[in-house]
Structure formats: C-alpha cells, structure tokens
C-alpha cells in the first residue's frame, strides 16, 4: 500500500494522525465504561430492597427508599406515552403514506426543530398551559411536558420505518382490493411493527431520564401522590434533589437512584437496538 | 387523493351505501393522520405563543436593556440577563472546544479507518453514551469530576494564573467544570452525525485519491473531510444547540452565582440553570416573567442554530439526519 517513494514525513504523519483518531475514539468509549463502572460500584453498594419499597425518610434515619418516586416516574411516563405515541405515530403515518412533498418537508423540519427545543423550555410551556390555570403542580403537567417531548421522535421513527417497507407490499394489498387505509393499517404498519416498537421504546428511555421539564411541573413529593392532580416525586428529580443536598446519606440514595435509572435506560436501549438490529437484516432494505 | 380509489359506476343502493361508509372511513383515517401532523405545527406555534405572551411584562419593563444589564435581583425587581447569557456562551464554547476535535477525530476513525466490526461495536457504545440521562452526568460531575479537577487539573493550571482566564481562587464548581461536562455530553452527538455525513461521501472520491498516491490520512483529511465539511459543521451546530439548552448537568456543577468573571475557574450561572433553580419558587409577576423571557431567549437561540444545522446536514446527505 505504502511504497518506497513516499517521504518519511508523510508516512509518519499518516500513522500519527490515524493513531490520534483511534485514540479519541478510545477516550470517548472509555468514558462509558467509566460511568457504568462507577455507578455500578457506588450505586450497587447503596442499593437495598428498602429502596424499592419504602418512602423517603428525613436525613439521619435509615431505611429510606424511593418507592413513591419509582411509581411517580411510571405514572408520568404512562401519561407521556399516551400523549406522545399516538400523535407521533399518526403524524408519521401521514408523512410516510399520504403527504405531498412540500407539506411533508415543512412538518419534518418543524418536528426536528421541536426535537431540538431545550427540555427546560418545554417545562415552562407545560407550566403555563397546565400548572398556572390549575394553580397547582401535578403529575398531569409532568406527563404533558414529557408527552410533548416524545412526539418528534415518535413521528420521525414511524415515518422512517414505514418508508422502509417495500412498495410491492402496498401494491399487492391494493391489487387485492384493499383500500388505502386498510392497506396502511393491516399490511404496512404490521410489517413495520418490530421497528416501531423498538423506536417507541428508545423514545420512552430518552424521556425517562428527563429532569428539567419535571422540576416545576411534577415538582416533587416526599409522600405518595394520589391520582393525577397532585405533585409527584420522580426518579430523576429525586436524584437531583438528593445530589445537591448537604447530607451524606442522601448522597448514597442519589447514587442508588442513579444506578436504577441508568440500568433502566440502558436495558431498554440495548433491547430496542437488538430488536432493530435483528429486523434490519430481514425486513429493512 | 386518498379516496380516489373508490366508486366509479352507480351500483345498487345497498352496495353504494356500503361504499359510501367505506369512503367515509377512508377520509377519516386520512384526516386523522393529517390532524396529527398538523398538530405538531400547532404545538410549536403554541410554544412560541406561550413564551411570548408570558414574557411581555418583563419585555415592557426592561426592553432590550434586559440583554445588557448584569444585575439580577429578585428582591428589588431588577432583572438583567447578561450574566446568564455570558455563562451559557462561555460554557458552550468551552464544551465545543473540547468536544469538536475528539468528536470529529473519532468520527473519522469510525467512518474511515476502523474495521467494520470494531466500528459497529464502538458506534453501539457511543449511542448508549448519548442515552445516559443528563442528571446522571450531573451526579458524576458533582462527586467525581469536580474533585478530580480540583485535585489533578487545577495544580496544572495554577502556574498559568497570570492569564485572566485562569486567575482567581478555585472552588471546584466553575465555568470550567460545566464546560468539561458539556463536552462529554455533546461528543456522542457530534460523532454519530459526523460519521453519517462522512459515510455519505462517495467511495470513488477515496479511490481516486488513493490511486493518485495519497496516504490514507491525506485521503481522509484532504478529500473526504472537505467533501463532508458542511455536514460536519452541521453536526457541530447540533452539538452547540444541545450544549446551550443543557440544564441539569450544568446546574449541578456551574456554581449558580449570577456574576460575570473573565476567569474560567470562577463560579457562574447559565440561562437554563437560573430557570431550573428559580422558576419553581418565583413569585408571579416580573420575576416569573423575566425567567420566561430568558426561556424565550434560549428557545430562539436553539431554534436558529438547529435550523441552520439541519439545513447544513440536509445539504450534504439529502435527508434530514
């Protein structure tokens, strides 16, 4: 490959620069291992069964947990999915199956912009829309904030996966006399199902870790939150509150919560990516 | 367009009835999906509307002076955004300064040099890195990074304290800490978008350069990278937009002091952090309105940068990455 007439200087530069790019990759990848290792170590040692079953306790008392925050996160995420997934899915169907060029471009572009809006700004909007008129913080407001954040990715993944379904499937269904909507909802969507499911899982994992939009919508709560209209504790906000507190035992709890959150997010991510990877070899392209 | 496939002749009334219902169903699913797509536009419109409406009080009081005043005093209803804008810009710039060389370098490695197997594994891990929630970065920032900077990096910077940017005492929480955390957070985004853009460069460009006797590095740096430069710049802009809007990790390590200091070692404040810290307890009125005004500034800034970044990436890959 490298012949004799190439100057030494060029050869050295070649090897040195290739090495440098490899090194930067190594550094970035090792950060992941560092994060995982450290959280495993710190979080694993502070984790106990009480963490999952007990309510938070004031500092100094042992045996406190975050059961309410785990349930609170679950409720907020459920609400977020109920808002974000249907809107994103239907919008994605429109872009992939019905839309003309100009309008589709507009919607796609605006969706990408919405995806780039800082999460704290979404929090402000949810505050203005729900907390202010109702004059109290609530699970509902937190769910709406996260729901808005889910729409862009739900929409774009739906569009992308539907587009990857070959046109012959649509033509086949229509040749058999199926109408357009029947073709879409009984042939195209089921064919893209594994991709859609994993896309939504990734989406959920992303908002599961969001903290900023919950700070002044779901707020926080040291006790159980009844129904949907009360402020609720959530795992990410608890991590934040405990981490910036001045107490060592709360720091331990923050590590434990960080461990649980990261484990959850990474498990969903890896599962979803494996599903997509398996689907890619058979269904896509 | 959606319903053009039905009804041509005039069949008996029962059958026609059936077709009409079907046609209504067709229209229904078309309109439903259209409504969902339109809703996205409405939501973005609603975000703009709410931000503007709720910040008018502050805008009427302070006007454009809001951007050049550095006093932030909720007790006396005096609000100026300069320390926060300064903090956001300094930390983001620092974050990018650290993240861009590493990110573009790693993207070059993954797209051009690495064997496909190794590249796939690394890309997978970098995607996981991008999925780590920001509050986790904040947690590690407070307890690992800040002490590490204090113990290892600060002694190295100490001899440089004649430079204004490294002067003054160091408490750990600072612009520098926030910048480093931001760098770690945006690097995965820069890598994955840059890599995609680099892969879109046609193979024959590389083959031509290699055939002319260029080394691998010369091909990569002088042929492939310039070809993809618009898209790579787009990826950097995307990273910038993320850095500007990042809230939790920055709030946890920047120190939250509304003061402008030339030194990177001094504690500061950012737009997103002040919203995160004060919004929940702000009294309705000028304070809340000023915070929402800050939110509007942040929104405008990220929208513009995102819009430019998307266009750049679109120009190189022909699809909205």
Same domain for B18 and B80, yes or no, is no
For A190-246, what is each residue's pLDDT tens digit? 999 999 999 999 999 999 999 999 999 999 999 999 989 999 999 999 999 999 999
pLDDT tier, B22 (very low <50, low <70, confident <90, very high otherwise): low
pLDDT tier, B221 (very low <50, low <70, confident <90, very high otherwise): very high
Q: Which residues contact B31 (CB under 8 A, 6 or more apart)?
A: none
Query: Does the pLDDT value for residue B27 go beyond 50?
Result: yes
Query: Does the pLDDT value for residue B23 go beyond 70?
Result: no
User: Quick one: how far is CA B46 from the chain centroid?
Assistant: 21
Q: How many helices (H) and strands (E) does chain A have?
A: 13, 0
According to the per-residue pLDDT averaged within each range, which of A10-19, A94-103, A120-129, B17-26 is highest? A120-129
Helix B82-108 crosses helix A8-46 at what angle (to 10 degrees)? 120
Q: Do B103 and A6 touch (CB under 8 A)?
A: no
Q: Do B215 and A117 touch (CB under 8 A)?
A: no
What integer is the mean pLDDT of B114-136? 93
Q: Do B108 and A21 touch (CB under 8 A)?
A: yes
For A133-184, what is each residue's pLDDT tens digit? 998 999 999 999 999 999 999 999 999 999 999 999 999 999 998 888 889 9
Please name the helix (run of DSSP H) or strand (run of DSSP E) that holds residue B78, with its range, or none. Answer: strand B78-79
Which residue on chain A is closest to B255 by alpha carbon? A244
Bridge partners of B268, per DSSP, are B255
What integer is the mean pLDDT of A23-39? 90
pLDDT at B321: 36
A11 lies within 8 A of chain B by CB? yes
Q: Within 13 A of B29's CA, how many CA atoms are on the CB side?
A: 21
Which residue on chain B is closest to A151 by alpha carbon? B40
Kindly report the CATH number assigned to the domain that includes residue B111: 1.10.3720.10
pLDDT at A64: 86
Distance from CA of A222 to the nearest CA of B (A): 16
Distance CA A68, CA A54 (A): 8
First to last CA, chain B: 29
Say whether A148 sits in a helix, a strand or coil: helix
Residue B1 domain-assigned?
Answer: no
Same domain for B39 and B185, yes or no, is no
Same domain for B295 and B175, yes or no, is yes
Q: Which residues contact B146 (CB under 8 A, 6 or more apart)?
A: B172, B173, B177, B253
Same domain for B125 and B155, yes or no, is yes
Give the sign of the dihedral formed by CA A260, CA A265, CA A268, CA A274: negative
What integer is the mean pLDDT of A11-24? 92
Choose, out of B27, B36, B126, the residue to mutate when testing the contact with A (most A CBs < 10 Å). Answer: B36
Which residue on chain B is closest to A104 by alpha carbon? B37
Residue B8 domain-assigned?
Answer: no
For B79-107, what is each residue's pLDDT tens digit? 999 999 999 999 999 999 999 999 999 99
For residue B16, what are the CA distances in angstroms to A177, A180, B1? 16, 18, 20
Note which residues in 75-114 of chain A have CB less than 8 A from chain B.
86-91, 93-95, 97-99, 103, 106-114
Write the DSSP assignment of A74-97 as a string of letters.
HHHHHHHHHHHHHHHHHHHHIIII
Query: Does the pLDDT value for residue B237 go beyond 60?
Result: yes
Note which residues in 204-263 of chain A have CB less than 8 A from chain B.
205-206, 208-212, 215-216, 219, 236, 239-240, 243-244, 251, 254-255, 258, 261-262
pLDDT at B248: 95
With vertex at residue A256, the alpha carbon angle to CA B141 and CA A65, rounded to the nearest 5 degrees, is: 130
Distance CA A270, CA A35 (A): 16
pLDDT at A120: 96
Q: Which residues contact B127 (CB under 8 A, 6 or more apart)?
A: A269, A273, B188, B192
User: Phi and psi dihedrals of B279, rounded to 5?
Assistant: -60, -45
With vertex at residue B105, the alpha carbon angle to CA A9 and CA A22, rounded to the nearest 5 degrees, is: 75
pLDDT tier, A100 (very low <50, low <70, confident <90, very high otherwise): confident
* Domain span holding position B254: 68-317
Same domain for B22 and B98, yes or no, is no
What does the H/E/C string look like for B222-235? HHHHHHCHHHHHHH
Q: How many domains does chain B have?
A: 2
Mean pLDDT (chain A, rounded)? 91
What region, left, alpha or beta, does residue A227 occupy, with left being phi > 0 and alpha being psi -120 to 50 degrees? left
pLDDT at B12: 60
pLDDT at A3: 52
Helix, strand, coil share of chain B (percent; to 5): 75, 0, 20
Note which residues in 175-204 of chain A have CB less than 8 A from chain B.
179-181, 184-185, 202
Same domain for B299 and B210, yes or no, is yes
Architecture of A51-282 per CATH?
Orthogonal Bundle (1.10)
Query: Does the pLDDT value for residue A282 go beyond 50?
Result: no
Query: What residues in B contact A243, CB-CB < 8 Å?
Result: 135, 138-139, 142-143, 252
First to last CA, chain A: 34
pLDDT tier, B3 (very low <50, low <70, confident <90, very high otherwise): very low
Mean pLDDT (chain B, rounded)? 90
Same domain for B31 and B166, yes or no, is no
Written as six digits, the tokens of B37 are 């797509």
For A113-124, what is each residue's pLDDT tens digit? 999 999 999 999
Q: Which of B282, B305, B293 is nearest to B89 (CA)?
A: B305
Say whether B208 sits in a helix, a strand or coil: helix
Q: Which residues contact B226 (CB under 8 A, 6 or more apart)?
A: none
pLDDT tier, A33 (very low <50, low <70, confident <90, very high otherwise): confident
Same domain for B85 and B40, yes or no, is no
Query: Does the pLDDT value for residue B281 go beyond 50?
Result: yes
Q: Do A211 and B247 touch (CB under 8 A)?
A: yes
Same domain for B21 and B145, yes or no, is no
Q: Do A38 and B124 touch (CB under 8 A)?
A: no
Distance CA A213, CA A206 (A): 13
Write the DSSP assignment of B280-309 as a string of letters.
GGPPTTHHHHHHHHHHHHHHHHHHHHHHHH
* Dihedral angle over CA of A185, A188, A190, A194, nearest 10: -130
pLDDT tier, B1 (very low <50, low <70, confident <90, very high otherwise): very low
Same domain for B55 and B79, yes or no, is no
Query: Which position has the higher pLDDT, B105 or B18?
Result: B105
Give CB contacts under 8 A, 24+ apart, made by A227-230: A227/A139, A228/A75, A228/A79, A228/A138, A228/A139, A228/A140, A228/A143, A229/A134, A229/A136, A229/A138, A229/A139, A229/A140, A230/A136, A230/A138, A230/A139
Of A34-43, A140-149, B174-183, least confident by mean pLDDT is: A34-43
**Domain ranges (residues) in chain A:** 8-46, 51-282
Q: Which residues contact A193 (CB under 8 A, 6 or more apart)?
A: none
Same domain for B54 and B122, yes or no, is no
Query: What residues in B contact A131, CB-CB < 8 Å?
Result: none
User: What pTM value is reported for the model?
Assistant: 0.91
Please name the helix (run of DSSP H) or strand (run of DSSP E) that holds residue B72, with its range, or none. Answer: strand B72-73
Residue B2 domain-assigned?
Answer: no
Distance from CA of A54 to the nearest CA of B (A): 22
Task: Choose the closest CB to B40 out of A111, A116, A179.
Answer: A111
What region, left, alpha or beta, does residue B190 occupy, with left being phi > 0 and alpha being psi -120 to 50 degrees? alpha
What is this model's ipTM?
Answer: 0.91
CB B69 within 8 A of CB B85: no
What number of C-beta contacts closer than 8 Å exist between A and B? 278
Same domain for B22 and B104, yes or no, is no
Of B10-19, B28-37, B270-279, least confident by mean pLDDT is: B10-19
Task: Choose the closest CB to B125 out of A13, A32, A212.
Answer: A32
């Amino acid at each position: 490959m490298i012949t004799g007439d190439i100057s030494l200087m060029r050869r050295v530069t070649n090897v040195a620069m290739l090495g440098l790019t490899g090194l930067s990759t190594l550094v970035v990848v090792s950060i992941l291992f560092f994060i995982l290792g450290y959280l495993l170590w710190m979080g694993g040692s502070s984790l106990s069964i009480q963490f999952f079953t007990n309510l938070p306790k004031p500092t100094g008392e042992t045996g406190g947990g975050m059961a309410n925050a785990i349930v609170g996160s679950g409720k907020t995420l459920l609400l977020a999915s109920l808002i974000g997934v249907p809107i994103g899915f239907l919008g994605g169907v429109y872009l992939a199956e019905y839309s003309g060029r100009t309008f589709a471009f507009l919607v796609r572009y605006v969706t990408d912009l919405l995806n780039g809006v800082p999460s704290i700004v979404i929090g402000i909007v949810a505050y203005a829309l729900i907390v202010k008129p109702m004059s109290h913080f609530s699970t509902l407001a937190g769910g709406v904030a996260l729901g808005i954040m889910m729409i862009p990715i739900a929409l774009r993944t739906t569009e992308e996966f539907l587009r990857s379904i070959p046109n012959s499937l649509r033509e086949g269904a229509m040749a058999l006399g199926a109408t357009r909507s029947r073709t879409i909802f009984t042939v195209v969507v089921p064919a893209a199902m594994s991709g859609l499911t994993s896309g939504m899982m990734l989406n959920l994992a992303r908002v599961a870790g969001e903290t900023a939009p919950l700070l002044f919508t779901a707020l926080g709560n040291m006790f159980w939150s009844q129904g949907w209209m009360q402020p609720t504790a959530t795992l990410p906000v608890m991590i934040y509150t405990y981490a910036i507190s001045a107490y060592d035992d709360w720091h331990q709890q923050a590590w434990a919560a960080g461990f649980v959150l990261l484990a959850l997010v990474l498990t969903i991510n890896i599962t979803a990516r494996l599903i997509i990877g398996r689907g890619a070899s058979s269904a896509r392209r | 367009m959606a319903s053009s496939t039905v009804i041509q002749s005039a069949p008996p009334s029962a059958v026609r009835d059936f077709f009409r219902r079907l046609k209504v169903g067709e229209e229904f699913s078309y309109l439903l999906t259209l409504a969902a797509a339109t809703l996205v536009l409405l939501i973005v419109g609603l975000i703009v509307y709410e931000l503007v409406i709720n910040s008018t009080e502050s805008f009427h009081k302070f006007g454009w002076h809001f951007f050049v005043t550095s006093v932030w005093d909720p007790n006396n209803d005096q609000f100026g955004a300069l320390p926060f804008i300064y903090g956001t810009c300094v930390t983001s710039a620092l974050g990018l300064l650290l993240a861009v060389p590493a990110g573009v370098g790693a993207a070059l490695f993954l797209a051009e040099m690495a064997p496909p197997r190794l590249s796939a594994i690394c890309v997978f891990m970098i995607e996981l890195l991008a999925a780590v929630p920001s509050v986790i970065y904040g947690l590690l920032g407070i307890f690992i990074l800040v002490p590490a900077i204090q113990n290892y990096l600060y002694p190295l910077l100490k001899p440089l304290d004649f430079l204004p940017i490294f002067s003054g005492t160091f408490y750990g929480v600072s612009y520098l800490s926030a910048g480093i955390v931001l760098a770690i957070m945006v690097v995965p985004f820069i890598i994955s978008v840059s890599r995609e853009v680099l892969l879109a460069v046609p193979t024959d460009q590389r083959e031509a350069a290699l055939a002319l006797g260029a080394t691998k590095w010369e091909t990569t740096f002088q042929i492939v990278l310039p070809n993809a430069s618009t898209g790579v710049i787009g990826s950097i802009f995307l990273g910038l937009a993320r850095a500007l809007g990042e809230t939790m990790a920055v709030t946890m390590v920047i120190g939250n002091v509304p003061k402008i200091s030339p030194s990177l070692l001094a504690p500061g404040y950012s737009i997103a952090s002040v919203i995160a810290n004060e919004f929940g307890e702000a009294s309705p009125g000028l304070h809340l309105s000023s915070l929402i005004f800050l939110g509007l500034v942040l929104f405008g800034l990220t929208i513009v940068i995102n819009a430019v970044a998307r266009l750049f990436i679109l120009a190189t890959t022909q699809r909205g990455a």
